[in-house]
Structure 1
Amino acid sequence: MQARSPFRYLTGYPERLTAPVRAMIADGTLGARLLAKYPQRHEVRTDRALYDYVGELKARYLRSADPLSKVAYDSRLHVIQHALGTHTAISRVQGQKLKAKREIRVASVFREGPPEFLRMITVHELAHLKERDHDKAFYQLCTYMEPGYHQLEFDLRAYLVLLEATGERPWASEDSSGETL
């Protein structure tokens, strides 16, 4: 079985955009560049805080969308399988009524990171409440909720390349001794 390249996260982007990422991986500066661009870590650490965070965005941009039953970090989501987050709709028949549950799960690797990346993933999953496919209408909704969506998506993909290629996690928690938790 052939090893997969970490640069697969940038598939579809033109060489003029991917070449600098490749160069920064080669010279070891990508992590520092991302940290300089996004210096803050978000504070949304628990599932409850994530539920509240997503609920606020939904209330602001998608009031008429179906309610969410659950929002949580999920350690079973593997970025390697291209799942940054998931949106599921489960329908069940209860008596003579059809009940629908909608859930959003975010890969737990994003429990640490800049608020911009969490917002990008959240906006992406919320857009699926209205638009199922990754089409023009979907991305228009994403940019309505987050005007910098496309740049954030590219930067997040660059972070995934960094994570897979080097294991470097610029926003990882550290205790007082400097050890990564």
Structure 2
Amino acid sequence: MTKLKYLAHYPESIQAQAAHLISTGRLGDYLHNKYANTHQIQSDKALYQYINEIKNDYMRKSNPLSQVSYNSKLQVLNQALGIHTYQSRVQGSKLKSHNSITVASVFKEAPLEFLRMIVVHELAHFKEKDHSKAFYQLCNHMQPDYHQAELDTRLWLHWRELKETDR
């Protein structure tokens, strides 16, 4: 079976289905038929507006976002598809917070559902620090098909690698 590094923690049955799609050359068709829509969120400013809209819809009372950006240096191999940072600082008698999200630049080319999955994941970390049950419940609240989008994002990353090696 093909080594599926992005699906390593998934059950064997899912890995077998993915390997079958790959071996029959149908993975690209599966992804294209299911996620045909692309997005126009190409700049850091557009990404900030997109993330802020989602944050305001689901996490209005949380601290505001300080910075949002795409980053071409995030390494997909290290499982870093996005990064969230949060800092609290004392300034006089007030506690100031700094929340930022960085998304891997590869998601400029991804379907909107995959970008949303990364954004939802990173936003959920502002409320729930660990990957706990509450964390995934919050992700599902913000994106009802979160788990399927995560799986398909991993398949898309694998498909992109296959395309790169075929060149």
| Letter in structure 2 aligned against 1:12 | H
| Consecutive unaligned residues in structure 2, runs of 5 or more | none
1:146-157 to 2 correspondence within 5 Å? Answer: 146-157=143-154
| Letter in structure 2 aligned against 1:141 | L
TM-score (norm 2): 0.91
1:19-98 to 2 correspondence within 5 Å? Answer: 19-94=16-91, 97-98=94-95
How many residue pairs match? The answer is 164
Seq. identity, %: 52
Q: Which runs of 4+ in 1 moved over 6 A?
A: none
| Consecutive unaligned residues in structure 1, runs of 5 or more | 169-181
Residue number among 125, 129, 147 corresponding to 1:128 in the alignment: 125
- The C-alpha deviation readout for 1:84-140, integer Å capped at 9, x for no partner, is 101001344545654321100100000111111111111101101100000100000
1:113 aligns with 2:107: no
- The higher relative CO (CA closer than 8 Å, separation ≥ 6) is in 1
User: Partners of 2:57 and 2:97 in 1: how far apart?
Assistant: 22
Tell me the residue number matched to 1:161: 158
User: Partners of 1:165 and 1:10 in 2: how far apart?
Assistant: 14
Residue number among 18, 38, 41 corresponding to 2:15 in the alignment: 18
Query: Normalized per residue, which structure has more helix?
Result: 2
TM-score (norm 1): 0.84
